Amino acid sequence: MKITQRVKKILANYESDNPGTKTKLARMLMHGRLGGTGHMVILPVDQGFEHGPARSFAPNPPAYDPHYHFQLAVDAGLSAYAAPLGMIEAGAASFTGAVPTILKLNSSTSHATSKDQAITGSVGDALRLGCSAIGFTIYPAADDQFEMFEEIQELAEEAKSVGLAVVVWSYPRGGNLSKEGETAIDVCAYAAQIAALLGAHIIKVKPPTAHIEQPEARKVYEAQGIDVSTLTARIAHVIQSAFNGRRLVVFSGGAAKGLDGLFDEIRQIRDGGATGSIIGRNTFQRPRDEALVMLDTIINIYKGRA
Amino acid sequence: MKITQRVKKILANYESDNPGTKTKLARMLMHGRLGGTGHMVILPVDQGFEHGPARSFAPNPPAYDPHYHFQLAVDAGLSAYAAPLGMIEAGAASFTGAVPTILKLNSSTSHATSKDQAITGSVGDALRLGCSAIGFTIYPAADDQFEMFEEIQELAEEAKSVGLAVVVWSYPRGGNLSKEGETAIDVCAYAAQIAALLGAHIIKVKPPTAHIEQPEARKVYEAQGIDVSTLTARIAHVIQSAFNGRRLVVFSGGAAKGLDGLFDEIRQIRDGGATGSIIGRNTFQRPRDEALVMLDTIINIYKGRA
Amino acid sequence: MKITQRVKKILANYESDNPGTKTKLARMLMHGRLGGTGHMVILPVDQGFEHGPARSFAPNPPAYDPHYHFQLAVDAGLSAYAAPLGMIEAGAASFTGAVPTILKLNSSTSHATSKDQAITGSVGDALRLGCSAIGFTIYPAADDQFEMFEEIQELAEEAKSVGLAVVVWSYPRGGNLSKEGETAIDVCAYAAQIAALLGAHIIKVKPPTAHIEQPEARKVYEAQGIDVSTLTARIAHVIQSAFNGRRLVVFSGGAAKGLDGLFDEIRQIRDGGATGSIIGRNTFQRPRDEALVMLDTIINIYKGRA
Amino acid sequence: MKITQRVKKILANYESDNPGTKTKLARMLMHGRLGGTGHMVILPVDQGFEHGPARSFAPNPPAYDPHYHFQLAVDAGLSAYAAPLGMIEAGAASFTGAVPTILKLNSSTSHATSKDQAITGSVGDALRLGCSAIGFTIYPAADDQFEMFEEIQELAEEAKSVGLAVVVWSYPRGGNLSKEGETAIDVCAYAAQIAALLGAHIIKVKPPTAHIEQPEARKVYEAQGIDVSTLTARIAHVIQSAFNGRRLVVFSGGAAKGLDGLFDEIRQIRDGGATGSIIGRNTFQRPRDEALVMLDTIINIYKGRA
Amino acid sequence: MKITQRVKKILANYESDNPGTKTKLARMLMHGRLGGTGHMVILPVDQGFEHGPARSFAPNPPAYDPHYHFQLAVDAGLSAYAAPLGMIEAGAASFTGAVPTILKLNSSTSHATSKDQAITGSVGDALRLGCSAIGFTIYPAADDQFEMFEEIQELAEEAKSVGLAVVVWSYPRGGNLSKEGETAIDVCAYAAQIAALLGAHIIKVKPPTAHIEQPEARKVYEAQGIDVSTLTARIAHVIQSAFNGRRLVVFSGGAAKGLDGLFDEIRQIRDGGATGSIIGRNTFQRPRDEALVMLDTIINIYKGRA
């Protein structure tokens, strides 16, 4: 595998990491149909934990089987597959080397009565399962935000020391935040900044709206004339907030919409300078053939061909 | 001991486990009268902790003696015997090699004022007592659910690293859950999914009712037409929720009923694809002779002969 | 020292313990005037912590001196002496080998505003002080019961690994328990069961009353016709609840009474099958000569001579 | 690099530190345009965490890039650059040896609902990134003050053992403190004292006002006639409170003011005997050229030339 | 240095300690003008933490300098000097071997909103700074008393294992205790007992009043006719409560009074059998010459010459 100039340039941004971690980043950036382009499309499957099995898999029953998702990620030529412990354990040997995996180390349930997650995996688990990265969700603004920051601080330090990459899902919620504020542009850019400051290599945030949540921030956005009028502009602002593009940022799908709306949104995300997309339910809740067609289009969008 | 094809197939589902852990799973699956069939009947005796000695053993006083249960499990040809620390310590040497044991690592009491359990044993205890597996109870939905998930995450990782198997009792309760919801089909399937995601090798849940607890889940069950009309159908849905059958699932006895009702229930559990049954009070609260007869029938049910 | 058949039989019940721990149990069972009989009388002196020095020692001022209690235990021919860290440190060298010691590892004060105890010693302390056992108090039913169970789980595992015995004071209190319920027969038998399940070698409980606290338990006691009419019958039920006599159980003195009342109570405790008595204030709050006479009678009761 | 007499004298005040830590202190004291003078000007960039990216960097967009701050600190000839994990990781290799760095090990966000900070870095991180010191914020008076003291106690002990210096931001807030009290002279002097007692090598406090917050302190200030009438006198009192000048103390900028006001304040800080200034937003929120001019003047003030 | 018979007798009371710890006790007991007499006068300087710098040092400004206190302790011929981390670090090398030091390992501030202290030093710190002992404050009766007991249990065990002595400040407060009760004779004697039981070598308590706080204790004090009528009698009762004199007990100064009142109080403390005095503010808040004269008189009182 010959690392492309584009990927070399990205890796150079991770200047403090050891060769082990850089190798894992390279593995994800060079894998699949977007390999070498600097773009990534990741398949995350943690809905079984978050929403339960029926809500996650009943629309497409083959997806109850953990092998289904590995195979889908392989066949679609995705960059990586992210899931909690049991899902990875159930397929890690069958799909050894077939697709880079990201072990989600914390999880929540729809039963949860607080804005927090449980640690459900370890760096040791990620190593024994041959994963390329650990994944971790933080809830900036939540009453437990500091505990979550401290957890990822410890896990990330350990992961980096053993040559793994770190992916942070940064989802503001809880505390004094309004529901609308969870996807506000100021809050989303802040979430990307926090993840970067915590040492994430790859940051996952939601596509932001034009809403501005914090009064102190609003003053600055207005005074400085920060453009938040289009999604592309907002994405660009988030990328800027991730160390001016020195960190990889992938975006989840936004609110429910048709395929055309999704593709259009992804084009804007791409045009804003995003690394790529991380698409879960939209993928595995469709019949496999439809999912493969959809992912093909998304990949082509990032290749600039759609 | 020649491993049967059926058991080899099951073991293949535990593809990330080391040979030590697979050996312990094989030991339980190849032991007793159901050895080699892929089915299991397990004797759990943790009622002394949960309800106190008189409520547990007075109906059949020889059961006050820890040796009684080892001997019963041996004579009935069961697959394994599960109990808390003191119970195993009191017989582990006398019954060395006679029956696989599962050390229950957490326990509650009927005095408890919160939905939680205390850690009352360790992986080190399980090793020094020659156990095949650790057992652990989680209460999905409870206010302390995340703490329990984190406890089993650490214990399971340690257990797997030293070649032990992991059995998780997944009993939803507490939090916002209604009493009826504790055995609702959506909640029970979710409980199996959570245990699987946490890395359990063997999952114990209760036989589910047709009630659906969570409104968001109800929508999906109705929209997708998931069959919850018969116990057999519900069991099949739970098995599906345990990684589409890649994880062993055993069911406790349901509400109190006569022997015929029990046998009928177990036939439905079997027909739904369950691994087997885990039967405590129904076993040791009867005179020994009656218990042996009852277990003989249950075993025959799983052999397809009753 | 030639181990008697009676003691060999008792030691055989501790079948999972290593020779180090069995040696410590043998040391206590073979020591003093009851050595070899299978009975024990233990001197506990933790009242200084629980009630303060004046309430504990002013009635017999020589008892302010830690050496007093060592000497008393030696001269009375008792089986062991139990006390908190400072008390043992202050005499452990002077009385090396003179009497087995039990280091109490947790303690409370009369200032306490919650039902809990502080850890005030360690297994390492017990080892460096040449103790035979660690002692630990649990409060089944208390809001902090689970924390206490987890503490003794860890301490007991460590103690057993280094060849020490484990003595558990099981004193129900707090939570939903009534004052009368603290010594109810169902609660006391349950307390013995919990200590046994937690892995205690020697269990200390209070002599139970005929009161039954828990409604669910009352149903069983009545349905099964469990005899709780005499202290002897109740003691026998507690012993039964301690793994059917596989665990040593000692009883503290009950409510204040005259010496004749005390001796009569101890005869009933003995007749119920108890291992022995653990007598603190009743011993050291008397003049030394009177205490020695009293202990002589108690020992003779356990020898069947009084 | 020949250590000046002035710096040797300062280093002598750190008489309990090992040569490794003294070397790091020397590195900061000998670096930049103030090298050798005993004065320091430090660039701290933790506003991205505290206030979010737009509020921090939008006024001067090149500052979104972590390299910007390294370069600014280098070009201005500053003594050191302090920032959280991600900021240092993103430039530590490119600027190896170019400027001493201080890794901020805890951080807060503007979402925070309590007066506390999260641990967001480790001593190990500081070592692998080649930092000269760790930085840590305490909030004396906050409800969580003791937890913060305990965190820095552990981190400082570890840092000193591996030859790093310790910089403590001592910012009173929370608890019973009024808003005005946060910068009161008694509270600020106390904050410096606490940081010194906790073992800080370099202490950062805010310039104090003449307000006296604590009634018990007011009595003493009045009885002893402590001069708090001018900023210079108050600075001198803070320096006195930092072990009579045995610890380095740097001051942040006070309330918003024009450049002339800032320079005048810094002259008073200098005249009070301060080690130097630590200037964040005032620096990086200006265009780079203006910032360099401003820093040049500040450095000249400390050189006694402005 | 030839150990006196008096000191040898005292050291014999610490019969469980290793030679390292005994050496440290001997170092303090043989140092200064009271060396060899069995008496001690200790200088504690933790007021900077507890009350802030101005309230502590403004009455005698040279005392802002940590060296001042070392020198004062040396020149007055005191037995030891106790202070928090920063104070010891700032002089430990300059005064190596000049006076035994006690590192205070926990501290509070006047901002505190709860009855607790923060851990602000470690046993490792005490070792690297060449200290003879660790110091630790407990608040018997406080809501956090058990946490404090557990902290000193761990620290004391570690200190003893590395040959350090343990000094416990036992200051009842909080919980259900009245203000008057903090110095009540029953509470003070209990505080000494608790410190002794926790394994303290040297115990610091306040001189008790004749008030009796706890109703249960009052009954015993009256029934047993314990003499609490004079300070000398009360001191003797406290000493008795410290293992009948087997533990060293030093007393802080009582309520504010003139020098004559102080000397008279110390004579009574001495006559009650106390080991000595620990005098902070009364010492360093006077001009140095006056302090030396005062300490000279106090030392002479303990020598029986004043």
Q: How far apart are CA A214 and CA E196, in angstroms?
A: 56
**Size (chain C), residues:** 306
pTM (global) more than 0.90: yes
- Among B200-209, B253-262, C106-115, C182-191, which is the least confidently predicted range? B253-262
Tell me which residue in C55, C90, C120 faces E217 most closely, judged by beta carbons. C55
Q: Is the pLDDT of residue D113 over 90?
A: no
Tell me, rounded to whole angstroms, the distance of Cα A131 from its chain centroid. Answer: 15
Tell me which residue in B150, B192, B240 faces A119 most closely, judged by beta carbons. B150
Query: C142 in helix, strand or coil?
Result: coil
Q: How far apart are CA E52 and CA E46, in angstroms?
A: 9
Q: Is the pLDDT of residue C97 over 90?
A: yes
Q: Classify residue E227 by burial, with Cβ atoms within 10 Å: 0-12, 13-18, 19+.
A: middle
Tokens 């032990």 correspond to: B164
Count of beta carbons in the 10 Å neighbourhood of residue A221:
21
Q: Classify residue C114 by burial, with Cβ atoms within 10 Å: 0-12, 13-18, 19+.
A: middle
Strands D118-119 and D106-107: antiparallel
Residue D204 annotated among the catalytic residues of the structure: yes
Q: How far apart are CA C173 and CA A228, in angstroms?
A: 62
Test mutation, A193, A201, A222, A224, chain D, max D CBs within 10 A: A193
Closest CA to E167 of E109, E126, E128, E114: E126
- Among A256-265, C282-291, D283-292, E50-59, which is the least confidently predicted range? A256-265
Touch test B–E: 3 Cβ pairs or more under 8 Å: no
Q: How far apart are CA E194 and CA E241, in angstroms?
A: 9
Tell me if chain C has a CB within 8 Å of the CB of B93. Answer: yes
Nearest CA of chain B to the CA of C153: how many Å? 5
Tokens coding B90: 């009191």
Tell me which residue in D49, D58, D91 faces A197 most closely, judged by beta carbons. D49
Residue C257 annotated among the catalytic residues of the structure: no
Q: Are A213 and A180 in contact (CB under 8 A)?
A: yes
Tell me which residue in A15, A172, A193 faces D53 most closely, judged by beta carbons. A193
User: Secondary structure of chain E: what % helix, strand, coil (to 5)?
Assistant: 45, 15, 40
Q: Give per-10-residue mean pLDDT for chain B (306 aa).
A: 94 98 98 98 97 97 98 98 98 97 97 93 98 98 96 98 98 96 98 98 98 97 97 98 98 80 96 97 96 97 94
Main-chain phi, psi angles of B2, to 5 degrees: -95, 120
Q: Classify residue C260 by burial, with Cβ atoms within 10 Å: 0-12, 13-18, 19+.
A: exposed
Please enumerate in sequence order all residues whose Cβ is within 8 A of that of D153, keeping only pairs 6 or more positions apart, or say none. D198, D199, E85, E118, E119, E120, E121, E122
Tell me if chain E has a CB within 8 Å of the CB of D197. Answer: yes
CB contact under 8 A, A216 and D112: no
Query: A25 in helix, strand or coil?
Result: helix
Nearest CA of chain A to the CA of D10: how many Å? 33
Q: Are B201 and B17 in contact (CB under 8 A)?
A: yes
Q: How far apart are CA A180 and CA A192, in angstroms?
A: 17
Q: How far apart are CA B196 and CA D84, in angstroms?
A: 38
**Size (chain A), residues:** 306
Count of beta carbons in the 10 Å neighbourhood of residue E97:
7
Q: Are A53 and B237 in contact (CB under 8 A)?
A: no
Region E40-60 average pLDDT: 97
Region D80-95 average pLDDT: 98
Closest CA to E13 of D118, C66, A63: C66
Q: How far apart are CA B250 and CA E193, in angstroms?
A: 56
Q: How far apart are CA A178 and CA A189, in angstroms?
A: 16
Count of beta carbons in the 10 Å neighbourhood of residue A59:
16
Touch test D–A: 3 Cβ pairs or more under 8 Å: yes
Task: Return the pLDDT at D254.
Answer: 60
Task: Return the pLDDT at E113.
Answer: 85
Q: Are D105 and D155 in contact (CB under 8 A)?
A: yes
Nearest CA of chain D to the CA of E7: how many Å? 31
The CA distances from residue E40 to A259, E30, E79, E80, in Å, are 85, 9, 5, 8
Tell me if chain D has a CB within 8 Å of the CB of E96. Answer: no
Q: How far apart are CA A116 and CA C281, in angstroms?
A: 51
Nearest CA of chain D to the CA of A168: how many Å? 13
- Among A184-193, B241-250, C253-262, E6-15, which is the least confidently predicted range? C253-262
Tell me if chain C has a CB within 8 Å of the CB of E191. Answer: no
Q: What is the DSSP string of A77-101?
A: T-SEEEE-HHHHHTTTTTTTTTS-E
Test mutation, E109, E114, E137, E154, chain D, max D CBs within 10 A: E109
Tell me, rounded to whole angstroms, the distance of Cα B11 from its chain centroid. Answer: 18
CA of B10: which chain A residue's CA is closest? A90
The CA distances from residue B230 to A299, B210, D182, in Å, are 44, 8, 67
H or E, element range at B276: strand B276-278
Q: What is the DSSP string of C205-220?
A: EPPPBS----HHHHHH
H or E, element range at A155: helix A145-161
Tell me which residue in D17, D186, D197 faces E49 most closely, judged by beta carbons. D197
Q: What is the CA radius of gyration of chain A?
A: 18
Q: What is the DSSP string of A208-268?
A: PBS----HHHHHHHHHTT---SSHHHHHHHHHHHTTTTTSEEEEE--S---HHHHHHHHHH
Closest CA to C91 of C121, C58, C35, C130: C130
Task: Return the pLDDT at D253.
Answer: 78
pLDDT tens digits along C34-85: 999 999 999 999 999 999 999 999 999 999 999 999 999 999 999 999 999 9
User: Which residues, numbered 220 to 249 in chain B, qualify as contacts with chain C under a Cβ-Cβ cut-off of 8 Å?
Assistant: none
Tell me, rounded to whole angstroms, the distance of Cα D87 from its chain centroid. Answer: 17
Nearest CA of chain C to the CA of E145: how many Å? 8
H or E, element range at C66: helix C66-76
Q: What is the CA radius of gyration of chain C?
A: 18
Nearest CA of chain E to the CA of D224: how many Å? 6
Task: Return the pLDDT at E66.
Answer: 98
Catalytic residue (one of C22, C24, C115, C204): C204
Test mutation, E16, E161, E202, chain C, max C CBs within 10 A: E16
Task: Return the pLDDT at E306.
Answer: 87
User: Which residues, numbered 130 to 149 in chain C, qualify as contacts with chain E under a Cβ-Cβ cut-off of 8 Å?
Assistant: none
pLDDT tens digits along E69-125: 999 999 999 999 999 999 999 999 999 999 999 999 999 999 998 899 999 999 999
Q: Which residues of C touch B92 (CB under 8 A)?
A: 15-16
Q: Which residues of D touch E91 (CB under 8 A)?
A: 15
Tokens coding A168: 């942070």
pLDDT tens digits along E254-286: 666 799 999 999 999 999 999 999 999 999 999
User: Secondary structure of chain D: what % helix, strand, coil (to 5)?
Assistant: 45, 15, 40
Closest CA to B155 of B129, B170, B135: B135
pLDDT tens digits along E166-193: 999 999 999 999 999 999 999 999 999 9
Task: Return the pLDDT at C5.
Answer: 97
E139 dihedral zone (left: phi>0; alpha: psi -120 to 50; beta): beta
CA of E238: which chain C residue's CA is closest? C53
Tell me if chain C has a CB within 8 Å of the CB of B297. Answer: no
pLDDT tens digits along A218-248: 999 999 999 999 999 999 999 999 999 999 9
Task: Return the pLDDT at A257.
Answer: 74
CB contact under 8 A, E190 and C109: yes
Please enumerate in sequence order all residues whose Cβ is within 8 A of that of C303, keeping only pairs 6 or more positions apart, or say none. C33, C34, C37, C39
Tell me which residue in D48, D52, D66 faces A186 most closely, judged by beta carbons. D52
